[in-house]
Amino acid sequence: MARRALAFVIPLVLLAVLAIVPTLPLDVPVVFAGPLDSPGTLGLLALCLLFAGIALTYDLLFGFTGLLSFGHALYFAIGVYVTAIALTRWEWSLWQAVAITAAVGIVVPLVLGGVSLRVGGIAFAMVTLAFAQAGQVLVQKNPDGLTGGEEGLGLDSDPLPDFFVGVLNAKYLYWLALGYAAFVFLVVRFAVSSSPGHVWQAIRENERRVEVIGLRPFGFKLIAFVLASFLATLGGIVWLIVVGTGASPQVTTANFTLTLLVMVVIGGAGTRYGALLGGFLYTLLDLRLGSFASSTQVQDLPTVIRTPLSEPLFILGTLFILLVFFVPGGLAGFGRRLRVLRRSAGLDKGGLEGSRP
């Protein structure tokens, strides 16, 4: 009973703490360039929270259902591009743009998922990659001048509410990103705890056994696929508003999906908070290591040390390798691993004391 209560209390307390961050004029040296309530820091935290939620949408597929998809970027890109086109090219209102994007974010994964899930394993991963590549080519071809091609599509901010426009309104963008992350967490937690959620986890462990007991895995996997893709589409809408500059073709690449996979692995696939933690930390490091690499502390080091430390990707790659080797279950499983080691050490100590004459 106490553990169940903590499972509700901890997220609420964490949400309350994160909600008051824009009101805290605190300095966190090295980690942030300015106080917590400064526009730059709030913009950085907004992106960290946003990608924490997006990583969790991917974990719903990979960690909880066991579906390795290389095309998750396609559905995030739908949220970005359809919204940008509706606002900028068609001059629709924000709510009209969100409505059409949400509809596309359901129909497209329903159709493509119905095709992709006819195969499994690596074949499924390759089919999802093929669909994502098709989406990337479509964006680059710039049909009817809608997508802007390789230069991307700027965002017309006129249809947006005033409190979402401008540097001085960074706190509202932060709360928007926080709301998205909290919404994804609640939806995923409810879905995973539901009857279909238990079937997803059974499919992840042994799909053949699910078939033996009389269930059809295809329908359950399609539900997970559509839900995860739809949540990623919502993330694309939020990203477009938070960034504020417009749609970029970078969000359509396979590298975007691979980045989500790395976030999930770092945090811990199939865990309650792992993907959120991995997405937040990876984004923070990715955006802040550039400043660290150009700092005087690094530049004053000998050339042999300075050269690799001046490359943020080298540092990220090294940290990822160390985590995979020494914390294979991800950061979320680190505490559990310590408890197991401590318990085994206690048993060994007790056995040695018991064997003494």
Inter-CA distances, 301 with 78, 311, 312, 314, 317, Å: 45, 14, 16, 16, 21
Cβ atoms of 188 and 56 within 8 Å: the answer is yes
Q: Which amino acid is at 246?
A: G
Per-residue pLDDT in tens (0 to 9) along the chain, 357 residues: 566 767 778 888 899 999 999 999 888 887 888 899 999 999 999 999 999 999 999 999 999 999 999 999 999 999 999 999 999 999 999 999 999 999 999 999 999 999 999 999 999 999 999 999 999 999 999 999 999 999 999 999 899 999 999 888 899 999 999 999 999 999 999 999 999 999 999 999 999 999 999 899 999 999 999 999 999 999 999 999 999 989 999 999 999 999 999 999 999 999 888 999 999 999 998 888 877 766 676 677 777 777 777 777 787 888 888 888 888 888 887 766 666 666 666 655 555 455 454
Whole-angstrom distance, CA of residue 131 vs CA of residue 133 = 5
- Indicate the pairing of strand 246-247 with strand 153-154: antiparallel
The Cβ of residue 357 has, within 10 Å, a number of other Cβ atoms equal to 2
Rounded distance, CA 54 to CA 193, Å? 19
Residue 246 pairs in a beta bridge with: 154
CATH of domain 11-25+35-293: 1.10.3470
Cα dihedral sign, 200-203-209-210: positive
Kindly list the distances between the CA atom of residue 183 and the CA atoms of 132, 177, 231, 331, in Å, as whole numbers in the listed order.
26, 10, 9, 22
Structure token digits, residue 109: 């994964």
Cβ atoms of 69 and 39 within 8 Å: the answer is no
pTM of the complete model: 0.90
Phi, psi of 153 (to 5 degrees): -130, 120
Joined together, the tokens standing for residue 187 give 């939806």
